[in-house]
Amino acid sequence: MSSEELKTGPLEYRTQEGQMTIMGFWIFLAAEIVLFSTLFATYAVLFGRTADATPPAELFEPGIVLIMTFLLLTSSFTCGLAIHEMRRGSVKGLRIWMIITLLLGLGFLGFEIYEFVHYAHEGATLQSSAYWSAFFTLAGTHGLHVTLGIGWVILLLIQVTQRGLTPRTSRKFFVIGLYWHFLDVVWIFIFTSVYLIGMVV
Partner 1 sequence: MAGHNKRIPTQHVVGFVLSIALTLLATWAALGSNLSTMWIISGIMILAVIQAGIQLFMFMHVVEFESQNGHVPWNMMFHGAVLAAIIVAGSLFTMSFGFTHNHDGDHQHEQHENDGQEQHDNGEHEGH
Q: Which 8-state DSSP code applies to residue 195?
A: I
Q: How many residues of this chain bind partner 1 (CB under 8 A)?
A: 64
- Burial class of residue 153, CB neighbours in 10 A (0-12, 13-18, 19+): buried
Q: Which 8-state DSSP code applies to residue 193?
A: I
CA distances from 45 to 41, 118, 139, 142, 153 (A): 6, 25, 16, 19, 35
Candidate list 2, 4, 7, 31; residue touching partner 1; CB under 8 A: 31
Name the minimum Å distance from CB 28 to partner 1: 10
Is 9 near partner 1 (CB under 8 A)?
yes
Question: What is the Cα–Cα distance from 23 to 171, expressed in whole angstroms?
Answer: 11
Question: What is the Cα–Cα distance from 89 to 36, expressed in whole angstroms?
Answer: 35
Candidate list 57, 117, 144, 148; residue touching partner 1; CB under 8 A: 57
Candidate list 2, 3, 7, 51; residue touching partner 1; CB under 8 A: 51
Question: What is the Cα–Cα distance from 59 to 120, expressed in whole angstroms?
Answer: 10
The answer to whether residues 152 and 180 touch, using CB atoms and an 8 Å cutoff, is no
Candidate list 44, 67, 106, 126; residue touching partner 1; CB under 8 A: 44
Residues 67-126 that bind partner 1 (CB under 8 A): 69-70, 73-74, 76-77, 79-81, 84, 87-88
Name the minimum Å distance from CB 165 to partner 1: 13
- Chain residues binding partner 1 by CB under 8 A are 1, 9-10, 13, 19, 22-23, 26-27, 29-31, 33-34, 36-38, 40-42, 44-52, 55, 57, 62, 66, 69-70, 73-74, 76-77, 79-81, 84, 87-88, 129-131, 177-178, 181-182, 184-185, 188-189, 191-193, 196-197, 199-201
